[in-house]
Amino acid sequence: VLMAERDNICKSLHMPAQSGSTSMLSRMRRSYSREAYFRLISDVRSTIPDVAITSDFIAGFCGETEEEHKDTVSLMEEIRYDMAYMFAYSLREKTAAHR
């Protein structure tokens, strides 16, 4: 609300989605779903109509299917981010995905 009320605060939020697939988010050990993310974006936009929203995405996480990737693409199309960082998944030692 403060962001909406004050002209001296930039109306920009970075809200990393990382994936548009609930099943993929679960495998990434994220605590939110696609539906919860959509609700959050909706709430933000209703409170701050002119907000700029940016995000992060990871493509090719362990076992990602074509359908899960399409869920991410559709999320991006529906949200219409102002900007997004996109990364190809890279396996890192000592992480849950590596095990």
Residue 98 has pLDDT above 70, yes or no: no
Higher pLDDT, residue 98 or 87: 87
pLDDT of residue 62: 86
Where residue 92 falls among pLDDT bands split at 50, 70, 90? low
Q: 39 near 46, Cβ under 8 Å?
A: no
The mean predicted confidence, pLDDT, of the chain is 91
- pLDDT score for 94: 58
Residues 78, 17 contacting (CB under 8 angstroms): no
**How far apart, in whole angstroms, are the C-alpha atoms of residue 88 and residue 99?**
19
Percent over 90 (pLDDT), the chain = 77
Per-residue pLDDT tens for 23-56? 999 999 999 999 999 999 999 999 999 999 999 9
Average pLDDT over residues 81-92: 88
Distances (CA, A) of 61 to 23, 29, 30, 41, 99: 12, 12, 13, 24, 13
Strands (E), the chain: 12-14, 52-59, 83-88
pLDDT of residue 89: 87
